[in-house]
Structure 1
Amino acid sequence: MHIQDTHWSSASALAAGGGTVNSTTGDRRGDGPRTTPLRVDAQRNLEHVLRAAREVFGELGYGAPMEDVARRARVGVGTVYRRFPSKDVLVRRIAEEETSRLTDQARAALGQEDEPWSALSRFLRTSVASG
């Protein structure tokens, strides 16, 4: 089984933080990925913000204020805006991560099945099971 790698590779490279996405802020300033790792507390806060944003936007929709995301993440709203200067940037980061996750699941299904229909079925079952 084979997927044209050009389409999937570019999508997963963006989703993985490659290209022009700044891994610190999640924005597209064109300065490339961060070369030094985040401090442990900053990485933890970033993970809390992303998790909280998924939950808040999932429950309340895109109209939910960034303050709700900060409150759910148990960080100050300044921390959220430091990493994500706008709601659009935050939502784009979440979408890129979800695209990467789904791409990984699709590739795994293709590697485990010989028939296209079986691979699609496996991918759909895995995607639904993982939420």
Structure 2
Amino acid sequence: MTRPLRRLGAARGAIARSDSGGDLLGVVDAVAGAAFGINSGADDADDSGYTSAPLGDAKPFEYTEDTASADTLELAASTNSPKFAAKMLGYDYKTFGTMLHKFKNANGLGPADNSIFHDNGDVEFNGRIFEGSIHDYAP
């Protein structure tokens, strides 16, 4: 028998011997173990029948619709990439490029002066945030 057929046979045998009761994860574990020639992990099971996880006894968080507290902060997004800034601010790249050229000319910046664009439309260069907004230069 060729090696792939032997592995297929081993995988089928592992599924048949599996005490997973048909649960998909148990079947996948058995097939993977047989395919790679390793134990299915049944020896690592605790009393509940589940294998140990890297997080040990950690419990999952419960879903809540509201934020955890009133102290939640909103984080501002910013980028120095005109391509990402255009998307973040809702402009197509060509329109944003025109706006950027007008902005730089009006504020004494050159083509190579990399600016930081904030999600509220503010533009920053060398720690200075300019008056107005990039939105002011929209066509």
Greater relative contact order, per chain length (Cα 8 Å cut-off, separation 6+) = 1
Q: TM-score, normalising length from structure 1?
A: 0.21
Q: TM-score, normalising length from structure 2?
A: 0.20
From the CA coordinates, give the structure whose radius of gyration is larger.
2
* Structure in which a larger fraction of residues adopt strand: 2
* Structure in which a larger fraction of residues adopt helix: 1
